[in-house]
Amino acid sequence: MKFLHISDLHIGKRVNEFSMIPDQKYILKQISDIAVSESVDAVLIAGDIYDKPVPSAEAVQIFDRFLTGLADFGKKVFAVSGNHDSPERIAFGAQLMSGRGVHVSPVYEGEAACRILSDAYGEIGVYLLPFIKPAIVRHALEGEPECPVPESYQDAVKLAVDRMEIDGTRRNILIAHQFVTGAGRCDSEEAAVGGLDNVDGSVFDRFDYVALGHIHSPQSVGRECVRYCGTPLKYSFSEAEQEKSVTIVELREKGQIQLSTVPLRPLHDMRKIRGAYLEVMSKSFYQDTDTEDYVQITLTDEEDIPDGLQRLRTVYPNLMRLTYDNSRTRQDQDVDVAEMVEQKSELELFGEFYELQNNQPMSGEQHNFVKKMIENLAGGGYEA
Ligand SMILES: [Mn+2]
């Protein structure tokens, strides 16, 4: 049986104030096409379907169309809620939708839902574990006699897995949205302070494949079959160098599992550009590139470009972020100030302030300009 594993769609997300809706529509269509061309039997969605617990009407519509499209193609869907989702809202209509082969995680009340599939090699158990934290499990198991009280994420997930009745003779898949120790993070995720949300990969030892969400870069953790498929789109510039993909999982007889990836081609790529203003604005620099991409431009000019953002956007309309790399922004130098302030002239004080801000002294021209300005302000009576 063949599965397509995706996660962290974050439908409705805004990146640097740009709506990702058109990009998300585009990529979900591509994912549906891959599900068809790869002839997968089911799509696994490992949480963070939406970006917010109360998603926008548009975001809900996009996901509705995606699910309906997959169901129309005869693809089963298994989805769990992530930390960005409301587990109750994701669970809405779960029973009704399961009739069409769309299985979403119910709210965690002590049992994770399990669906049994079968193919020529026998049965496959698919377990849906919504994002859980210690408090959720504590609350769900409150009042159960002799039940250990989970204090950490590790305890919580281990307890949830221990409570699953897993038949080790058949093949088993878990869909979960947690942070497994050792996974490499990036900027668009929400990290718990101090790594409190860590779960050791060994709690998943009984599963043949663990379809994980939460971490935005594609990677396996510990063993190959405990895997984060990554986001379908780049959601921060720390991901600019990544290639996003979906993971295809093929299960044959027990112990025979094959993983592969299919790259995703976004509507707009996200990339970083660096150079002097005149360089990045010259046609030879950008003519063979897609100037509609979401870009971060780092200018290396020593002087800030007035209205730089607006002027750069005439060539790069989707410029998301403008930064400078010059002596002003490089590490702060030690500039001696605040010594004998009263004995210094306005011009000297201004000069020190300028140096502190820009990591370089004023030029002769700037010096003269400021000198004249101070003289004018003081009506010429001051000795600058
Ligand atoms: Mn996420």
The CATH number for 19's domain is 3.60.21.10
Residue with tokens 């002839």: 39
Q: How far is the CA of 319 from the centre of ligand 1 (A)?
A: 24
Q: How many Cα atoms are found within 13 Å in the side-chain-facing hemisphere of 324? A: 16
Rounded to the nearest angstrom, the distance between the alpha carbon of 185 and the centre of ligand 1 is 11
Domain co-membership, 371 together with 226: no
The Å distance, Cα 239 to ligand 1 centre, comes to 13
Same structural domain for residues 285 and 191?
no
Question: H or E stretch including 227?
Answer: strand 223-228
Please report the pLDDT score of residue 285 as a whole number. 96
| Shared-domain flag, residues 18 and 154 | yes
Check residue 178 and give its pLDDT. 94
Residues 347, 257 share a domain: no
Distance 135 CA to ligand 1 centre (A): 20
Same-domain status, 246 and 278: no
Q: Is 377 helix (H, G, I), strand (E, B) or coil?
A: helix
Establish if 336 belongs to a structural domain: no
Is there a single domain that holds both residue 49 and residue 166?
A: yes
Structural domains of the chain, count:
3
pLDDT for 331 equals 67
Q: What is the distance in A from the centroid of ligand 1 to the CA of 304? A: 36
Do 129 and 176 meet the contact criterion of CB atoms below 8 Å apart? yes
Last residue within a domain, chosen from 229, 248, 263: 263
Q: In angstroms, what is the span from residue 182 Cα to ligand 1's centroid?
A: 17
Does 335 map to a domain?
no
For residue 43, give the nearest of 20, 82, 72, 22 by alpha carbon: 72
The answer to the question of residue 132 being in a domain is: yes
Domain around 365: 341-377
Q: Does one domain contain both 150 and 22?
A: yes
CA 269 → CA 63, 237, 334, distances in Å?
22, 11, 40
Distance 115 CA to ligand 1 centre (A): 24
Separation of CA 277 and ligand 1 centre (Å)? 35
For residue 194, what pLDDT is reported? 57
Any domain includes 108: yes
Are both 277 and 244 inside the same structural domain?
A: no
Q: What's the CA-to-centroid distance between 84 and ligand 1, angstroms?
A: 7
pLDDT at 380: 52
Between the CA of 254 and the centroid of ligand 1 the distance, in Å, is 31
Whether 300 and 161 share a structural domain? no
- What's the gap in Å between 16 CA and the centre of ligand 1? 16
Out of 263, 285, 311, pick the residue that ends a domain: 263
Distance 309 CA to ligand 1 centre (A): 29
Are 300 and 368 in the same domain? no
- Residue 28 placed within a domain: yes
Cα 212 to ligand 1 centroid, rounded to whole Å: 11
332 lies in a domain?
Answer: no
How far away, in angstroms, is 224 Cα from ligand 1 center? 21
Distance 8 CA to ligand 1 centre (A): 4
Query: Where a domain ends, among 230, 263, 296?
Result: 263
Q: Please check whether residues 161 and 300 belong to one and the same domain.
A: no
Distance 229 CA to ligand 1 centre (A): 11
* Together in a domain, 142 and 223: yes
Strands (E), 47-99: 76-80
Q: What is the per-residue pLDDT for 191?
A: 64
Ligand 1 (ion): residues with CB under 5 Å are 8, 48
Rounded to the nearest angstrom, the distance between the alpha carbon of 141 and the centre of ligand 1 is: 27
CA of 31 to the centre of ligand 1 (A): 18
Alpha-carbon gap, residue 1 to 251, rounded angstroms? 5
Distance 9 CA to ligand 1 centre (A): 7
Cα-to-centroid distance, 51 and ligand 1 (Å): 8
CA 191 to centroid of ligand 1, rounded, Å: 10
Roughly what angle, to the nearest 10 degrees, separates helices 153-162 and 134-141?
Answer: 50
CA of 87 to the centre of ligand 1 (A): 14
382 lies in some domain: no
What distance in Å separates the CA atoms of residue 20 and residue 177, rounded to the nearest whole number? 22
pLDDT of residue 196: 78
Q: Give the pLDDT confidence score for residue 382 in this predicted structure.
A: 46
Q: What share of the chain is helix, strand, coil (3-state, %, to 5)?
A: 30, 25, 45
- Interacting residues of 1 by C-beta distance below 8 A, sequence separation 6+: 41, 42, 117, 119, 124, 250, 251
pLDDT at 13: 96
Query: Which residues does the chain have with pLDDT short of 50?
Result: 381-384
> Would you say residue 333 lies in a domain?
no
Inter-residue contact 123 to 116 (CB < 8 Å) = yes
- Tell me the pTM: 0.84
Can you tell me whether residue 302 is helix, strand or coil? coil
Say how many Å lie between the CA of residue 214 and the centre of ligand 1.
Answer: 4
Contact predicate 227/247, CB 8 Å:
yes
Q: How far is the centre of ligand 1, averaged over its atoms, from the C-alpha of 230 (Å)?
A: 9
Q: How remote is the CA of residue 1 from the centroid of ligand 1, in Å?
A: 27
Distance from residue 117's CA to the centre of ligand 1 (Å): 28
109: DSSP letter: S
In the chain, the largest separation of any two C-alpha atoms, in whole Å, equals 97
